[in-house]
Structure 1
Amino acid sequence: MNNTNTKESSVIPPRWRIRLHIWLGVTLTLPLTLIALSGAGLAFAREFERVLAPDLWTVSAVGEGQGMNLNSVMEHVHRWRPHDQLLSLNMPERPQDTVMATVKGPEGKVFELFIDPYRKILVGERPAHHDAVYWLGSIHRSLSRGPIGAVLVALSSIGVILLFLLGQWYRRGHRNQQGSEPVVSVHRRLVYLAAWVWLICASTGLFAQITDQSLNSFAPPDSRLFASVPGDALSCTGAQVDMIWWQTDGRSLVRCTAPGSFGPFGTRYSNGAQDAISLSFEDWLAAVHTGSVMGIGGRAIWFWSVVLLPVTLLSGLLLGYKRWRPRSVAVPSNPK
């Protein structure tokens, strides 16, 4: 009997592990929730934009004939805004998408122009990044800015890894226990379902923070890739133009996407001087961080897994509260 009790007690982990797990979850709930939800919104920024501002992002492509080519788009932008500098062109992903041109005026203000590629008209414009989706994304990026932001992101990323390891450590100590509370079951199943995505996002985000690499796929890549080429020479051989960036000195760079490709596979850069420039390590790191390495399916898995992180944290807090809340003690009545 004593041997049995000793064997059972030996597999029960020390209480400090679960206490550390709970207090770590309490400390990281708010920053991890902000990072997770803003990152999920940023990863699907274009899809959310199509829902929130359909008048700017979508047009009717039925019976409109041939769309505008790249040179025609550039010509119309210069015609509408002759004194503005063209910074980038975001070409349509789908036939019903508009072309988005980003321009900078003489006074330094940046605007986004939305162009109907079939009717060759300007359907709308707005100040750059003047939308709820970018506001959500700016929160995600601002969390990592400056020394305080760098420490916050680093500690949050390390905290996710520690939460997982401590939770698994504690679970091993209770593997022989029969049955569990409903909250415990929900918490564990959520961890089993999405913890691997959290670990990938935390590891890649921490690595990018340490090495000072940008994970924003809409930002211009390495400036050393830009080259000075005529406007009519900007093209993608055997592929379609995805995005074009211009620097203040007039140098440009094109991002090309091969038909039928997904994620970073089939994507490359072109600067006129060199037809095909492979993606950098930073591009692949961003693709893994956002799940786009597996295409739209991977991004969807990443999105829902990241959204589940705050739910898992809240269920863990509820579990910790139920475990450590003061229990009422029944006072025996005095016999008469």
Structure 2
Amino acid sequence: MTAAARRTVSPRRLLRLWHRWFGLFAALWLLALSLTGSAIVFYDELDRWLNADWHSVPVVAAGTESAADDALAAAHAALPGFSPRYIDLPDRPGDTIMLIGADGNGAPVQMFAHPDSGRLLGWRVGGSPAFDRRHVMDSLYALHMDLMLGPAMAWFLGLVSLLWAIDHIPAALLAVPRLAALRSAFLVKGRRLRRLFDLHRAPGMWLYPATLVLAVTGVCLTWQEESRDAVRLFSPVSDRLHYAFDDTVEAGTAPAIGIAHAVAIARRYGAGPADSVAPIAGKGVYGVRSFDPRDLDGMGRLWTYIRMSDGQVVGQRHDNGESAGDLFFAWQYPLHSGKAFGMAGRIAIFVAGLATAALCMTGILLWWRRRRPT
């Protein structure tokens, strides 16, 4: 075999070809995901700053939970056909009530209500990009999910995440061809093309764990059923209890109890302070989500299911579940958002997103500078 033939089939050359062509294929998509992802790391803080009149009011007396029923009634009156998915209750004095659902055409809607009276303060309808102060954060979030192009694009972005996770292996092997070169892989030095190469390699090495976590969690959050099927090969994976409840409730049946009553029942059943309530009308239950010491991301993850017809508690489950597989999936969003490690984790994810965008751009520049017939 000639030296040229040996070079053609060498493992390092194959790794380089994979990394190059994956990078060119995925750069545009990863650039969009990384920039929108970095922005929405601080979604709550930025949206509160832009829309303070929707998110907060002067501190009022206690009793905000009872206003949720009035807010839901006001939402139905203001937007006929509104279908609530979550009612997010105030976490602290002065916070407003947020109702998340869809309008009569299926477009996503967020409505904001006064925590004392339930009076609507405003709402926004999503589904198309808009970058005014009312809609910019919501649009960035939707773009991060599927570029506002629907389930087919979400599936494609899951594929990009899977290939990105795989690409971390050849990227590491190319960055560190031998152990003696490990230290230099973290440094930026040299001039011109060498410096551009180091600017591509060093950020990837410094943030390698964070970008790998983003890739793997991106697959699990996008390809949810496929990921669960894969994990079931190693550990049982259970779903939220209401997925198994019968669809026995006729459309249009009015609940016999309201949100405030359901929250009170959950508290008597041993749940902590309520984070939000999911009216699952087709199943005839409220899912009261409460804060719990087992929560991984500061969001209420204990579900207490209360029948709408009579207030009977029909089940309780924490998102952490009972098995290793359940716990694996419980960690996916907290890791992807950085919330699992508080503000330090969120900053790490923010920086990792910006670094990924830089990797995409420096990778394309490297290819352009080095392009030669293969």
Q: TM-score, normalised to structure 2's length?
A: 0.67
> Which residue pairs with 1:163 in the alignment?
167
Match of 2:280 among 247, 254, 278: 247
Q: What displacement does 1:47 show? A: 2.5
> Which residue pairs with 2:158 in the alignment?
153
Which whole-Å deviations, capped at 9, do the CAs of 1:235-273 have from their partners, x for residues lacking one? 444522111111234421011114896616873111241
Match of 1:284 among 327, 331, 349: 331
Q: SS where residue 289 of structure 2 aligns? A: strand
Q: What displacement does 1:56 show? A: 1.1
* Aligned pairs (5 A) from 1:118-267: 118=116, 121-127=119-125, 131-142=135-146, 145-147=150-152, 149-154=154-159, 156-173=160-177, 180=190, 181-212=194-225, 223-224=242-243, 230-231=257-258, 232-234=261-263, 235-236=266-267, 237=270, 239-249=272-282, 250-258=284-292, 263=297, 267=301
Which whole-Å deviations, capped at 9, do the CAs of 1:123-181 have from their partners, x for residues lacking one? 22333668222222222332595456524421x12332343322222233376678643
Q: What displacement does 1:302 show? A: 1.5
* Aligned pairs (5 A) from 1:302-317: 302-317=349-364
Q: What displacement does 1:32 show? A: 1.0
State how far apart, in whole Å, the 1-side matches of 2:304 and 2:69 are.
18
> Aligned AA for 1:230?
I
Q: What displacement does 1:15 show? A: 4.3
State how far apart, in whole Å, the 2-side matches of 1:76 and 1:162 are.
47
Q: SS where residue 173 of structure 1 aligns? A: coil
* Aligned pairs (5 A) from 1:100-115: 100-102=98-100, 111-115=109-113
The verdict on how the C-alpha distance between 1:229 and 1:182 changes in structure 2, with shifts beyond 3 A counting, is farther
Identical-residue share of aligned pairs (%): 20
Unaligned runs of 5+ in 2: 1-6, 129-134, 229-238, 247-254, 307-312
State how far apart, in whole Å, the 1-side matches of 2:304 and 2:244 are.
8
1:103/1:112 contact within 8 Å kept: yes
Match of 1:72 among 50, 67, 75: 67
State how far apart, in whole Å, the 2-side matches of 1:104 and 1:141 are.
17
Unaligned runs of 5+ in 1: 1-8, 327-336
> Aligned AA for 2:140?
L
Q: Which has the larger radius of gyration?
A: 1
Q: Which stretch of the first structure deviates more once superposed, 119-128 or 249-258?
A: 119-128
> Aligned AA for 2:175?
R
> Aligned AA for 2:89?
M
> Aligned AA for 1:68?
G
The verdict on how the C-alpha distance between 1:320 and 1:174 changes in structure 2, with shifts beyond 3 A counting, is farther
1:99/1:117 contact within 8 Å kept: yes
State how far apart, in whole Å, the 2-side matches of 1:122 and 1:14 are.
61
> Which residue pairs with 1:4 in the alignment?
none
2:111/2:120 contact within 8 Å kept: yes
Q: What displacement does 1:26 show? A: 1.8
> Aligned AA for 1:267?
R
Q: What displacement does 1:120 show? A: 5.7
1:102/1:128 contact within 8 Å kept: no
State how far apart, in whole Å, the 1-side matches of 2:111 and 2:273 are.
21
Q: SS where residue 23 of structure 2 aligns? A: helix
Q: TM-score, normalised to structure 1's length?
A: 0.73
Q: SS where residue 91 of structure 2 aligns? A: coil
The verdict on how the C-alpha distance between 1:240 and 1:118 changes in structure 2, with shifts beyond 3 A counting, is same
State how far apart, in whole Å, the 2-side matches of 1:287 and 1:184 are.
33
The verdict on how the C-alpha distance between 1:210 and 1:114 changes in structure 2, with shifts beyond 3 A counting, is closer
1:29/1:313 contact within 8 Å kept: yes
Q: What displacement does 1:25 show? A: 1.4
> Which residue pairs with 1:332 in the alignment?
none
Q: SS where residue 276 of structure 2 aligns? A: strand
> Aligned AA for 1:197?
A
Match of 1:24 among 22, 25, 28: 22
